[in-house]
Amino acid sequence: MTEINFEKGSIQPISRQKAGRDKGGLGSKYEKFDQSIGSMSTDPSSLCAPRTGALQERMDKLDSVQLVKNDRGDNILIYFMSDGTVFRVIEADLYAKHWEELRYVSHIFQVKNKSCQHISNLLKDQIRRKMGITGNKNAGPFIPKYLNHKGQLVEMKKNSAKIVTIAGIRTLAFNEESDKAYNIKLDRDLRRNKIHDLRAAIYQTGVSDPELREIKRQMITVLEEAERELLRGYLKTANGVYEAKE
């Protein structure tokens, strides 16, 4: 994979790096996996650490994952990080990723066309296989988490967001059960929110209340627009890459 600094606009062609292999023959017919797979020092896009698993501070920096193709027709996942850094992940490299990283990527990856559906199915298949092989079959459904101010992992809670008014301005509050509460700007300021805040708010906003249901619909629309804008900006500067057909 090639690290790309999005701000500099100098994009290098994708390197033809083989999918990671370990002594047991990862990528061969044996397909041996363990906890350290996909967490190599040569993989700057890895969201996990060797023999540790998911690193929440890295996951928190992953704003968006989108699919493009290079000029050879290879599927490429683009990791957009909150600091402006962009990473290209070739489809073959997904086989070497840690299951916790794949599960998080699957959570935020949007299926928009047949190519996206193929990648989504691949992610789910690899997650099931690796969870089984590593003894994590009963890990339960995926629940996004965040680090609170004490550095503790806290699970996000569905239907926990609520509307509050601060100085006459309506906001959507969530994560209030911890000391790391957030407030989403609403109405005219909705588009000023950060992508990862919007995603967290969408997960935690219920739909039983009509007003919250409408706010959630608006947030989903704004999030989709923000992700499209990320991809548009990237494609203007990327060499040898084009958008996957709708």
pLDDT tens-digit profile of 7-49?
333 333 333 333 333 322 223 233 333 333 444 556 778 888 8
Taking residue 189's Cβ as centre, other Cβ atoms within 10 Å add up to 12
- Percent of the chain at pLDDT exceeding 70: 78
Whether the pTM exceeds 0.85: the reply is no
Nearest in space to 16 (alpha carbons), one of 2, 3, 5: 2
Structure tokens at 27: 């990528």
Integer-rounded Cα radius of gyration of the chain: 19
**Whole-angstrom Cα distance, residue 203 to residue 72?**
36
The stretches of the chain forming alpha helices (DSSP H) are 56-59, 99-108, 114-133, 195-204, 210-237
**Whole-angstrom Cα distance, residue 202 to residue 221?**
11
Contact 106, 235 (CB under 8 A): no
Give the pLDDT band of residue 149 (cuts 50, 70, 90).
low
Spell 121-157 as b/e; 16+ CB within 10 A means b: ebbeebbeebbeebebeeeeeeebbbeeeeeeebebe
pLDDT tens-digit profile of 105-145?
999 999 988 899 999 999 999 999 988 887 777 777 889 88
Nearest in space to 180 (alpha carbons), one of 202, 203, 153, 199: 153
**Whole-angstrom Cα distance, residue 186 to residue 88?**
33
Structure tokens at 108: 């935020």
